[in-house]
Amino acid sequence: MDQDASRKERKLIRVLDGETVFPPPIWVMRQAGRYLPEYRATRAEAGGFLDLCYSPKMATEVTLQPIRRYGFDAAILFSDILVIPDALGQPVRFAEGEGPRLDPLDLGEVGRLDPSRVLDHLAPVFEAVERIRAGLPGETTLLGFCGAPWTVATYMIAGRGTPDQAPARRAALSDPDGFARLIDILVEASIAYLARQMASGADAVQIFDTWAGVLDEAEFDRWVIEPTRRIVAGLRALVPGARVIGFPKGAAASLPDFAARTGVNAVGLDWTVPLGYARDVLQPRIAVQGNLDPLRVIMGGKTLDEGVDRILETLGGGRLIFNLGHGITPDADPAMVGRLVERVRAARR
């Protein structure tokens, strides 16, 4: 079976192509991470976090670890959304226990960013994609990803994460033309980055917009919907038929507009999205992904089981990719992740 035919048989790809599959395919955001002892061992060997991201051998290893342990239906490339600003020439560093740090970017300095170096700088990531695809079982989907321009810009402007991303919101409101120049650079870099991931073996890609929910309606339209639409269109110009999952966290009421206008194949749902709304408003139009509260994995037991069952009962009759409503947290018990997978896989209509 050739690669394209094999890809079309993968459960997650079938859902993205419009099919209802039950039990649904399952993967977990941040499934390769600190809750796994094998990840912590590899991370200690790597040294710095970006050293791990830029080591094809180690990035491959940590991507495959949760597949070996749980047999998820998808593996997602181990990397970080901030490799794009790092590649553009705004160096990123990770302080232990403090998250990412960048030198804050003034909009007057946007011209210093260098898009021409992005693909060369990220060559180790593309090598990792090739290695991961070669190491995966044939039935497992490989997801590439990038951060959405708005979310990446929030870190570039503030130099770190902030509670409500006020620095980036102020910048966008006070100098929308300058902010648009930054977004334009991120859109074009993201298109090139995702296209190369797909050329290297990714079956589909996800665009993470973690901070989409802090924007008002007009700003959401300008800085979330429109850049995502441009990325999807630009990616498909290079990779016809490219399958894309969009995840604008915190954007429940705006999801129908986002789905209709961006052209994504599926929308990710955070855990605050009402299941009935997802079933009645979203699923008739598009596949949905989500949306178990990560805290239920921490709680385990009956709390976990009830959350899983409610999602399956409400959304299992339509196009669904089972996932969490955001990334799994480091304090999750690996045994409870195994319980989650088993419960989804054992579901019956």
Residue type, position 80, single letter = D
Select which of 7, 10, 30, 131 is catalytic: 30
Select which of 155, 230, 293, 343 is catalytic: 155
Query: Is 33 within any annotated ligand binding site?
Result: yes
Query: Is 80 within any annotated ligand binding site?
Result: yes
Residues in a beta bridge with 209: 248
Count the neighbouring beta carbons within 10 Å of the beta carbon of residue 237: 11
Query: Is 121 within any annotated ligand binding site?
Result: no
Q: Does the active-site annotation cover 80?
A: yes
**DSSP letters for 40-57:** HHHHHHH-SHHHHHT-HH
Query: Is 155 within any annotated ligand binding site?
Result: yes
Q: Is the dihedral of CA 37, 148, 219, 263 positive or negative?
A: negative
Select which of 17, 34, 40, 277 is catalytic: 34
CA 29, CA 337: separation in Å to the nearest integer?
Answer: 12
Query: Is 34 within any annotated ligand binding site?
Result: yes
Select which of 17, 40, 69, 80 is catalytic: 80
CA 24, CA 323: separation in Å to the nearest integer?
Answer: 10
Q: Does the active-site annotation cover 112?
A: no
Select which of 10, 14, 43, 169 is catalytic: 43
Asked if the bond preceding 323 is cis, omega within 30° of 0, the reply is: no
Q: Is the dihedral of CA 258, 260, 263, 268 positive or negative?
A: positive
Q: Does the active-site annotation cover 34?
A: yes
Residue type, position 142, single letter = L
Query: Is 326 within any annotated ligand binding site?
Result: yes
Residues in a beta bridge with 205: 144, 244
Q: Does the active-site annotation cover 230?
A: no
Query: Is 70 within any annotated ligand binding site?
Result: no
Q: Is the dihedral of CA 94, 57, 326, 342 positive or negative?
A: negative
For residue 338 the two structure tokens come to 């195994």
- Active site amino acids: 30, 34, 43, 80, 155
Annotated binding-site positions for substrate: 30-34, 80, 155, 210, 326
Annotated binding-site positions: 30-34, 80, 155, 210, 326
